[in-house]
Chain A
Amino acid sequence: DADVTQTPRNRITKTGKRIMLECSQTKGHDRMYWYRQDPGLGLRLIYYSFDVKDINKGEISDGYSVSRQAQAKFSLSLESAIPNQTALYFCATSDAHSTDTQYFGPGTRLTVL
């Protein structure tokens, strides 16, 4: 089984809908991250969490919120989806002593119509 899983893998939704993307990990890592990837823009950090009680905004947090339900679970919500949030979303984890070695999930392809 994969160490970092994301659900759903693909999602098509309409403008204004609330969407939740979920991430689970079995690596036992404390640190978790949400990124979005867009052609020509690379990977950009949305939110990150160094432990269950620690949540930090990344480079592009507007329009997103997160919840760290447990050490192993970190979900990303789009409260009211808009078309420019159409992107590939990745969850990643790293252990408590580093941010440099990150383990990525398979990604969620989100399309907002």
Chain B
Amino acid sequence: QKEVEQDPGPLSVPEGAIVSLNCTYSNSAFQYFMWYRQYSRKGPELLMYTYSSGNKEDGRFTAQVDKSSKYISLFIRDSQPSDSATYLCAMGRNRDDKIIFGKGTRLHILP
């Protein structure tokens, strides 16, 4: 079993819809959970960061962590065509350890 699993998509949704992106993981030692967004021909950039379990909201984006299920989610409300990108989950055990990325989910928001 891979440490981090993420459906590669592509996922196509109409503009204005709520998008749900997910990752599962196997290592219960992970404490830090991140979502990176990567536009075409660009490097990834940090979108959301969560420590341990719970929810974190930033504008239209909500990151959710369920450590008991080893499952993390990113919700995008009122999706826009500009949200079309690849979203990579990432996680780490502590702030001195390397982080492990998921393979990324390609998201297309249809105008």
| Interface, chain A (partner B; CB < 8 A) | 4, 33, 40-45, 48, 50, 56, 58, 90, 92, 97-107
B92's contact among A42, A43, A48, A100, by CB below 8 Å, is which?
A100
Contact assessment for B95 and A106 in the assembled complex, using a CB-CB cutoff below 8 Å: no
3 cross-chain pairs, A with B, having the tightest CB-CB distances, nearest first? A104-B43, A42-B103, A43-B101
Is residue B34 within 8 Å, beta carbon to beta carbon, of the partner chain? yes
The CA-CA distance from A39 to B102 in the complex, in Å, is 12
Q: How far is the CA of A61 from the CA of B19 in the complex (A)?
A: 36
Contact of B34 among A56, A92, A100 (CB under 8 A): A100
Residues of chain B having any CB pair with chain A under 8 Å: 6, 8, 32, 34, 41-46, 49, 88, 90, 92, 95-99, 101-104
Q: Does the CB pair A99–B103 fall under 8 Å?
A: no
Q: Is the interface of B mostly helix, strand, loop or mixed?
A: loop
Residue on A with the closest CB to B97?
A: A99
Knowing A104-B44, A107-B43 touch, does A41 contact B103 (C-beta < 8 A)? yes
Given the contacts A42-B88, A43-B44, A43-B88, A97 and B102 also touching, CB distance less than 8 Å: no
State the Cβ distance, B42 to closest chain A Cβ, in Å. 7
Chain B residues with CB under 8 Å of A41's CB are: 103
Q: Which residues on A sit within 8 Å (CB–CB) of B102?
A: 42
Bound together, the chains give a CA A48 to CA B92 distance in angstroms of: 15
Cβ B88 vs Cβ A99 within 8 A = no
